[in-house]
Amino acid sequence: MPKKRGYHHGNLRQALVQAALSLIEVRGPTGFTLSEAAKQAGVTPAAVYRHFDGREDLIAEAARQGYEVFADLMEYAYAKGQPSALASFEATGRAYLAFARKYPGHYVAMFESGISVNRTPELAMVSNRAHGVLERAAVELSRHIAPDKRPPAQMVSAHIWAMCHGVVELFARGSPGTISPFPPEELLETGIGIYLRGLGLLPADH
């Protein structure tokens, strides 16, 4: 008799990533096993190891794919705000919130799984591309600050990144017991505004 095929996917690797993302959304990055991911993808557990060494390897690939989408979205938002450095900077913040809402499984794999962005060269590269967009926006926005008073662009972008992440975690993802006093977009934009006024980059009435 012919040997029975263990799966019929045209792209088993991607089917497993999609299964992991679905499970991550429901149970979190540590709430499922490789066997459950295999079952959801419709294959045997042994088939998983043809593509991934373990669950962390699978989650790392989900994170890498998430960063690809995230970096593309950030670059699009940045370009859409041009030629205004301020509009580009604010657009990247809004893009962060939009990504977290639209791709919750990817977001968790990227930021809440404990997987280091340096786990693979490919993951590190695409993570740096995403961070680089916000840093580039910070460089352009702070050009008019005197060099002796200008904070490092990496610091500015890190501050805004942290603000975006905080708004997402506390108010944009339906955290249990947390009710936002204002729409998350408004919280983020006013927070960025206060920060930029502190750097002298916005007039007091903006």
Domain ranges of the chain: 7-52, 56-198
Domain 7-52 identical in fold to domain 56-198: no
The reported pLDDT for the residue numbered 206 is 55
Which of 1.10.3720.10, 3.40.50.300, 3.30.43.10, 1.10.357.10 would CATH assign to domain 56-198?
A: 1.10.357.10
Chain centroid to Cα 134, Å, comes to: 13
The reported pLDDT for the residue numbered 5 is 43
Q: What is the pLDDT of residues 115-168, one digit of tens each?
A: 999 999 999 999 999 999 989 988 888 888 888 888 898 998 899 999 999 888
Question: Domain 7-52 carries which CATH code?
Answer: 1.10.10
Three-state DSSP at 42 gives: coil
Give me the mean pLDDT over the 166-195 stretch. Answer: 80
Q: How confident is the model at residue 7 (pLDDT cuts 50, 70, 90)?
A: very low
The reported pLDDT for the residue numbered 104 is 92
Give me the mean pLDDT over the 167-176 stretch. Answer: 74
Q: Is 69 exposed, middle or buried (0-12, 13-18, 19+ CB in 10 A)?
A: middle
* Residue whose entry in the numeric block shows the structure tokens 């352009």: 140
Quick check: 96 and 110 in contact, CB under 8 A?
A: no
3-state SS of the chain: helix, strand, coil percent to 5? 65, 0, 35
| 138 vs 153: CA distance, rounded Å | 5
Instruction: Please provide residue 136's backbone torsions phi and psi, each rounded to the nearest 5 degrees.
Output: -60, -40
Give 21 or 88, the one with higher predicted confidence: 21
Q: Which residues, at least 6 apart from 137, have a Cβ–Cβ distance to it below 8 Å?
A: 78, 85, 88, 89, 92, 157
